[in-house]
Structure 1
Amino acid sequence: MTAFPRSQARLSALRRRMAETGTDLVALGPSSHMAWLSGVHPHGDERPVMLLVSQGYAGFLMPALNAAAARADTDLPFHPWRDDDGPEAALAALLQASDATGAGLSVVLDETMRTDFALRLLDALDAPRRRFTDDTVGRLRAAKDETEFQAIKAAHLINDRAVRSAFAALKPGMSEQDVVEVIKASYKEDGAELEFCSICFGASAGFPHHYPGATRLENNMAVLIDTGCRLDGYPSDMTRCGYFGTPDDRYREVFGIVEQAVQAAVAAAKPGVRASEVDKAARDVITAAGYGGHFLHRTGHGLGVDIHEPPYISANSDVVLAEGNVFSIEPGIYLEGQFGVRLEEIVILRAGGAEIFSEMPRDMVVLGQ
């Protein structure tokens, strides 16, 4: 019996999917795909490393200097190679073991693999037909199991505490970077690590991807906090907005519109619905209110091992959402030179609709009055 049952279950699921899609070989580089499937996350540099999976075999092309460290995470066979020998013979042996020597094989390539790794593999095959991982590993990763749900949930509860702490710590004269430090300390106390953090004061929030800096908090200033941690291999992601002082009518109006857009998208998110329909539900609310030109990005992105992964919730996505999909719903309105409001939830699709991970209300946080 394998010492790595989770990886074995995922490998079996991949082989079933390969049979359904007529795939002869899956090739993964040192990426989140490899980590998800095998638990192995080797150092990625110029030395070729890949995991090949066929119906009868799964094994690694592995630089010899990384083999001992990687062995702790898998019982799959290694085809090691040394710097003074090069990877050619080891790759040929791996392809032979994988029964991947025929002509016209259907090969799935890791889209995040280094180009030189991918070309080395393709050059070693005979007229392969290649595509990326969307309908194999990518599809399997998109449907989260209960273990993944629990990991993502735990990360979000830590995130809730950190964001509450950040709002509570706000004082006049604090810089955006000061708030990042408050959040990092909260994560550390709960055993998590910072994944990313965007703190936006005032006009900074008018840019969807503002990098926190020296801007200092003043009275009557909008505040946007978009942050996430990583715990046990899985991230969190959430955006909350508030006001330090007395919110004016314009801010209250925009906040209310964005909240309605979130509610509309959450209500639209169900198994069997296209991702574009969820995007449209949010976008229609904002457009009807006269701010369509200020909603500058898609409604959401998938979340799993990676903070951004499929499915993407965009206007041009025909992806049909399925039970177990995890993704963000984060409409926003950005008024350059004034402020921005974005409210974000990460949801998992259940049979009856979307379940939100965060337990922190989206209510406007008003402080410092």
Structure 2
Amino acid sequence: MKEVKRGRVKKILSYGLDSIVVTSGSNFFYLTGLKIETFERPLLLFMSEDYSFLLAPKLEMERLGDLNVTESLFYDDATDPFKIIESTPTLKNILRKGVKIGVDPNLRFSFFYKLNNIFKDVNFVDASEEIQLARMIKEEEEIKNIEKASNILSKIFETAQESISPGISEAEVRFNLMKKASELGASSYDFIAIQSGENTAIPHHEFSSRKIRRGDLIVIDAVVSYNWYNADLTRVFSLGKPNEEVLSIYSFVRQAQKIGIESSISNVTAKSIDEKVRNYFKEREIDQFFIHRTGHGLGIDAHEKPFISSTSNDIIENGQVFTIEPGLYFPGKFGIRLEVDVVIKEGKPHIIGDFPLDIVII
């Protein structure tokens, strides 16, 4: 029998909710271990501390039929699932007047709108913060999955080193890395960005038909998951020896990253880590070229709490996993970003992944 992770449900409810409703996506996976996407067909899992109700399409009965919930109902395409919800008396255990129900931010607004119209006396609230706070502290098994994803990325970078040569396109390098990720058992590899030449100055440039030329700088930013837990690393390659300007900018980015890593200790604010990195660039009058936050949390989603930014109120704690990824970008010329994944253990930062941070010269 498939298990709803009751401890995780209680953790979310402990932040002031009576019940929660989640839908297909990362939060459903967090609470059930099941990776399911139902698209335009509603999948709703209502949970309080002592009651759970699942509504799902019949075509998912094989995967969800033995989920250990109090009650489950499966509907076909000729049935309005919200009519089922409206006519299910036992659901009133959760959907009663005055209770505070946290709503999964992944729930489509059209589905929420129908729910809200049926249960007008229920206090539906956005559960983004409560769910993210619960997910922010990783269990040991979650950390192991992220470490395995990071190991896959290290091997992908080795493949990149073998693939990069004059005349190969960004798209072709990306294809080679995606193929390698699949061979290594990655659950997903949706974002593998290959940035060469002037494209390195565009932080979220993914790939193009541009041919890599001798003398090019190449930045590879890759996200892969293992058992659906993500690692996210960025490394810098150079086809030929980089010039002095590139080496100088690289040294600034590397030192800023070192400051960010060393500042990542328990009980400090995420904001203070970002501030130290930003101040390092400011002292050298290059902070205007650092155009994004210092990092973000990792887990089932590639971007989640804690956010290492100037506006973040997150506090660094044991069990968190996040990136430290400063970068400097010079439009039309080049950019450099270095990204490591850090896990906090015994109050201190530990880097996940072992691929070198030095510029890889090919």
Aligned to 2:193: 198
User: Structure 1 pair 103/68, CA: closer, same or farther in 2 (3 Å)?
Assistant: same
User: Structure 1 pair 97/363, CA: closer, same or farther in 2 (3 Å)?
Assistant: same
Percent sequence identity over matched residues? Answer: 26
TM-score (normalizing by structure 1):
0.92
Report deviation, 1:172: 1.1
Gaps of 5+ in 1: none
Q: Note if 1:365 corresponds to 2:352.
A: no
Q: Distance in 1 between matches of 2:47 and 2:26?
A: 16
User: Structure 1 pair 188/15, CA: closer, same or farther in 2 (3 Å)?
Assistant: closer
User: Structure 1 pair 80/239, CA: closer, same or farther in 2 (3 Å)?
Assistant: same
Asked if 1 retains the 8 angstrom alpha-carbon contact of 2:85 and 2:91, the reply is: no
Question: Which residue identity is paired with 2:270?
Answer: A
Secondary structure of residue in 2 paired with 1:164 = helix
Q: Deviations over 1:194-224 (max 9, x none)?
A: 2311111111101111121121122221111
Asked if 1 retains the 8 angstrom alpha-carbon contact of 2:253 and 2:336, the reply is: yes
Q: Note if 1:311 corresponds to 2:302.
A: no
Mapping for residues 264-283 of structure 1, pairs under 5 Å: 264-283=259-278
Aligned to 1:233: 228
Aligned to 2:50: 56
| Deviating more after overlay: 320-329 vs 87-96 | 87-96
Q: Deviations over 1:320-355 (max 9, x none)?
A: 122111111111000111110000011111123111
Q: CA RMSD in A?
A: 1.9
Aligned to 1:136: 130
1:75 to 44, 68, 73: 68
Q: Note if 1:181 corresponds to 2:147.
A: no
Q: Note if 1:242 corresponds to 2:237.
A: yes
Mapping for residues 251-270 of structure 1, pairs under 5 Å: 251-270=246-265
TM-score (normalizing by structure 2):
0.93
Secondary structure of residue in 2 paired with 1:184 = helix
Report deviation, 1:160: 0.2
Q: Distance in 2 between matches of 1:340 and 1:159?
A: 21
Q: Deviations over 1:288-340 (max 9, x none)?
A: 22211111111111111111122221110111122111111111000111110
Q: Distance in 2 between matches of 1:111 and 1:95?
A: 26
Aligned to 2:119: 125
Gaps of 5+ in 2: none
Q: Distance in 2 between matches of 1:98 and 1:57?
A: 11
Question: Which residue identity is paired with 2:317?
Answer: A
Secondary structure of residue in 2 paired with 1:167 = helix
Secondary structure of residue in 2 paired with 1:215 = coil
1:301 to 266, 272, 296: 296
Q: Distance in 2 between matches of 1:95 and 1:29?
A: 21
Report deviation, 1:277: 1.0
Q: Distance in 1 between matches of 2:88 and 2:312?
A: 37
Secondary structure of residue in 2 paired with 1:236 = strand
| Deviating more after overlay: 76-85 vs 162-171 | 76-85
Report deviation, 1:88: 3.0
User: Structure 1 pair 95/325, CA: closer, same or farther in 2 (3 Å)?
Assistant: farther
Q: Distance in 1 between matches of 2:35 and 2:265?
A: 33
Q: Deviations over 1:77-113 (max 9, x none)?
A: 3122233331234213557346124322111011111
User: Structure 1 pair 219/112, CA: closer, same or farther in 2 (3 Å)?
Assistant: same
Paired residues, number: 360
Secondary structure of residue in 1 paired with 2:322 = strand
Report deviation, 1:254: 0.5
| Deviating more after overlay: 255-264 vs 272-281 | 272-281
Question: Which residue identity is paired with 2:311?
Answer: N
